[in-house]
Amino acid sequence: MSTDELLYKPAVNIAAEIRSKKLSPVEVTEAVIERIEALNTQINAFCTPMFDIARDKARQAEAAQMRGEFWGPLHGVPYSIKDSTDYAGVRTTTGCVAFKDNIALDHSPSVKRLEAAGGIPLGKTVTPDMAWKGLTDSPLLGTTRNPWNLQYNPGGSSGGSAAAVATGMGPLATGTDGAGSIRIPASFTGVYGLKPSFGRVPITLPNVNQHTHEGPITRTVSDAALMLDLMCGPDDRDLYSLEGKDFGFLANLNTDIKGLKVGWSSTLGFSGRIDAEVIQTCEKAAMNFESLGCSIEETALDLSVSMEVAKRNWQAIMAALVLYKLPHAIDQMDPALVACAREAESRPVGAFLYDKIRAFEDYQKLTTYFTDFDLLLTPTVACLPIQNGRLLPEGYPDHDWDWMEWAPFSSPFNLFHNPAASVPAGFSANGLPIGLQIIGPRHCDLLVLQASMAYETAHPWAHIIPEIGIV
């Protein structure tokens, strides 16, 4: 087996071959570490490597394998952790200078479960300052680069995780998503990203708010289902965590989706700029659901109010973190983050409460929509990947902070807690990935996974890899 074959092998296959003793945990771990050491200076996907921990666990996993003992479904399989999620004894910076020496005291719920399943932690992946935007760069951790073109950004805020997965630096990565932060980088890097229903995966500080979800970033849908099986379930540290655990996401993945009624919208009522290549590519991908036995209908669903409300709520969250929690560190933060927070400070509390009422009206629209339709399809992002050093795509009016102007499609489903995934839909004329978003009713995570799997089976993408990922 070549190195590339091993590095791009799905996690479900790696796990099976370790269990049958065709692969060793040490062999897999060393191959991935070698890839990280070769590429990370170019990509900047990892900010805190954990190679000593990884090697020690891999040796333990191999010794157990030789004894015929297996710790769980991820026995010997490497994974990476976004640097807003805790691993005990390792720093969690959330991309912020104020937390550069912050050592986690305990594992987050998701990490604890991936560890218990036998996973091998590779390290922490780069995120922007306070994970605040849809791009990945920060004063502390620097700029992460898109492996399809190093002049471009991989998106954010889980950009380090997505770039790692896209380049064979481990098959699995955790991400968090408060306004699109799993789906945006999945779209920009040509991988699969799933934002589960809110509360499906419990979260802890610093991610605690009613917008942020945690979920998997992988190259294949089956790997995401495997991760979600392990990560989900209630935890007393998260008062919003959902009951239930054994949903059988992986076991029930390959289900016929014939007969589903699917809606497609290129705008969701958004009146701003949407790249023509994005619309063309995503509409073609959406229409492919007809060949899967679904009925496709263009919908007039308008969620433009919730796009606006989500933006203002995101501002309020940033204001709380920046102006009240970390006022002493403002001078060291991303200036655009500070501008975002200060603008929110000028709005009265009553305006934010009124926003909640306005958003609820959109939620009722969406609820009515899902009585008639099983799924909703949209572009994941309104634009193509953005050049490094920019906050907004070329041609957009300058703004101090508003990156959400080019990412309107993701945030409503953070407000409304729906499961939503980004699947690779194709490439632009200049070779940059474009993602299609698949949204399901609340708590219907399995349906989103099944639809994603049906699409992947008909239009596979995992074999298409960026040249930077080939050493």
**Residues 192-222: b if buried by 16+ CB within 10 A, e if exposed:** bbbbbbbbbbbbbebbebebbbbbbbbbbbb
Of 157, 222, 241, 266, the catalytic one is 157
181 is catalytic: yes
Cα-Cα-Cα-Cα torsion 136, 142, 145, 151, nearest 10 degrees, comes to 110
Could you please report the per-residue DSSP string of 327-388? GGGGGGS-HHHHHHHHHHHTS-HHHHHHHHHHHHHHHHHHHHHHHH-SEEEEES-SSPPPBT
Alpha helices in 81-220 (DSSP H): 109-116, 159-166, 183-189
26 in Cβ contact with 54 (< 8 Å): no
| E strand or H helix that includes residue 194 | strand 192-195
CA distance 185 to 450: 21
Of 82, 124, 195, 311, the catalytic one is 82
Of 24, 138, 158, 181, the catalytic one is 181
Nearest to 90 by CA among 119, 123, 131, 128: 123
Residue type, 338: V
On the 0-12 / 13-18 / 19+ scale of CB atoms within 10 A, 243 is exposed
Mind telling me the catalytic residues?
A: 82, 157, 181
